[in-house]
Amino acid sequence: MTKSTTRWNRTRGLLFVAALVLAVATSVAVTFAVGRPDGGAKLRGVSVLDDSTSSPGFSVEAVSATAFGTTIRFMIDLDTPLKDGESPALDLADFDIPGFSPNAIDYGISHDRQKAVFTLTGNALTAETRSLDITLRAFYVIPADGDGVRHEGPWHARASVSPGKVGTPQATGGESAIDTGYGWRYVIDAVEFDSTTARLLYHTEGDMKGLRPLPPRTSANPELVAMFPREGSGDLQVDRPSPGATLIFQFAGALRPVMRPASATFEQAGGAWLPSAITIAGGSLPARVMETTNGGSPYLTVQIELNPAATIMLNGSGSPGQSARLSDDMGNSYPLEHGSGDFPPTIATWDFAGPLAPGASRVTFAIDGYGVVEDGDWSYSAPVP
């Protein structure tokens, strides 16, 4: 079973996502991601890098291309090895590559932890492109929990390339639709192939207001999962199998926010918190509150149990439940610090800044709404020419 976990920090407004189905970096002001010792994302297509020159401590490791996109990998020497829990990160505004616009960033760490590896995926190069001029003005080192440290450059590199090595693509299939049964549908626009890569182009139509992407509940091959596209259209690229094989693409579901308030009250008896329940979408869900500590800081932690087979999510993936509140019978409110949720949903957790105020013996937890999972067993088969 595919499992993903989302943990977010209320005070910093950052979203941390660790998903087994996808490694996508978002284009926010500063992109945070977990570095991996394997050096980052896969290089797809054929190598088009002929030669490169660069500033000291900065090197272009690879440039690979397909008819549909380009992947550039470069490495930076670090002044000191990364500590456990630290990860490298980039701000998209800090680098410039004329003729190349990245749409995804992946991060890696060398095995000796003294080099940061950045892998950028972006548009296909024109056949006339002969070089790529790369300028990186700065990068960040992000601790496990804290603000990033900016490391100033600049660094420069020039990569000589031969994109003419990439063949002409051919298209097959397309013009099909998958009705999800939720008032919206996936539309397959085309499946394209070059010598090394297969590309699925698709978009969504219908009632998609507020929908947020979710990973699939199960997947035989995570690389063949087409995610719900945030911008309305999707582009999935995978290795091309041998001619005569069949690619079976799976389509993931989405989360629909529902603004419907719910609350649960917890009481103490004999110095212990009694379990409670919260009613959501006509069902009662077990809930409890605990007094916990993390890093020496006290918290009031609320947990709600969920049914993995159900269609309700309370936390993570943009659910309204992320904006939860906690107050006590003395009129005190407790700031929400962070929370976590998983998918398929089993438990949702919120951590509120403690400790419990003196004299308080009852707390009330409240949310403005929840998320409804809209997913199913949706697939599309494409023969390989």
Examine the pLDDT at 21 and tell me if it is beyond 50: no
Q: Are 126 and 139 part of one and the same domain? A: yes
- Comparing 158 with 27, the larger pLDDT belongs to 158
* Residue written as token pair 């601790």: 143
Q: How far apart are CA 381 and CA 310, in angstroms?
A: 28
Residue that terminates a domain, selected from 137, 165, 193: 165
Examine the pLDDT at 44 and tell me if it is beyond 90: no
Q: Is residue 22 part of a domain?
A: no
Q: Is residue 7 part of a domain?
A: no
Position 31 scores a pLDDT of 32
Q: What average pLDDT does the structure give for the chain?
A: 84
Position 217 scores a pLDDT of 79
Q: Is residue 14 part of a domain?
A: no
- Summarize pLDDT for 185-214 with one digit per residue, the tens: 999 999 999 989 999 999 999 999 999 999
Position 171 scores a pLDDT of 76
Position 41 scores a pLDDT of 62
Cβ distance 281 to 257 under 8 Å?
A: no
Cβ distance 182 to 145 under 8 Å?
A: no
Cβ distance 350 to 339 under 8 Å?
A: yes
Position 228 scores a pLDDT of 95
Q: Is residue 18 part of a domain?
A: no
Which is nearest to 191 in space by CA: 220, 170, 160?
170
Cβ-based burial of 216 (10 A; exposed 0-12, middle 13-18, buried ≥19): buried
Tell how strand 225-226 and strand 246-251 pair up. parallel
Position 197 scores a pLDDT of 92
Cβ partners under 8 Å of residue 193, min gap 6: 169, 170, 171, 172, 199, 240, 384, 385
Residue that terminates a domain, selected from 134, 165, 196: 165
Examine the pLDDT at 174 and tell me if it is beyond 90: no
Cβ partners under 8 Å of residue 70, min gap 6: 45, 48, 63, 64, 100, 121, 122, 123, 124, 125, 163
Q: Are 194 and 70 part of one and the same domain? A: no
Q: Is residue 16 part of a domain?
A: no
Rg (CA), the chain: 24
Q: Are 151 and 269 part of one and the same domain? A: no
Q: Are 89 and 140 part of one and the same domain? A: yes
Q: Are 247 and 266 part of one and the same domain? A: no
Examine the pLDDT at 33 and tell me if it is beyond 50: no
Cβ distance 172 to 364 under 8 Å?
A: no
Examine the pLDDT at 294 and tell me if it is beyond 90: no
Examine the pLDDT at 360 and tell me if it is beyond 60: yes
Q: How far apart are CA 369 and CA 281, in angstroms?
A: 10
Q: Are 161 and 35 part of one and the same domain? A: yes
Q: Are 145 and 38 part of one and the same domain? A: yes
Q: Are 337 and 237 part of one and the same domain? A: no
Q: Is residue 39 part of a domain?
A: yes
Q: Are 230 and 107 part of one and the same domain? A: no
Residue that terminates a domain, selected from 140, 165, 190: 165
Q: How far is CA 273 from CA 67, 126, 266, 366, in A?
A: 61, 65, 7, 17
Cβ distance 68 to 8 under 8 Å?
A: no
- Read off the CATH number of the domain in which 110 is found: 2.60.40
- Summarize pLDDT for 327-339 with one digit per residue, the tens: 999 999 999 998 8
Percent of the chain at pLDDT > 70 equals 88
Greatest Cα pair distance in the chain: 77
Cβ partners under 8 Å of residue 338, min gap 6: 7, 8, 9, 10, 11, 351
Q: Are 54 and 153 part of one and the same domain? A: yes
pTM, to two decimals: 0.75
User: Beta strands of 180-308 (E only): which ranges?
Assistant: 184-193, 197-206, 212-213, 225-226, 233-239, 246-251, 254-258, 262-269, 272-273, 276-280, 283-294, 297-305
Q: Domain residues for 153?
A: 31-165
Q: Are 288 and 311 part of one and the same domain? A: yes
Please count the structural domains in the chain: 3
Which is nearest to 336 in space by CA: 322, 346, 348, 319?
322
Q: Are 56 and 87 part of one and the same domain? A: yes
Percent of the chain at pLDDT > 90 equals 54
At residue 40 the predicted structure's pLDDT band, cuts being 50, 70 and 90, is low
Q: Is residue 5 part of a domain?
A: no
Q: How far apart are CA 172 and CA 385, in angstroms?
A: 8
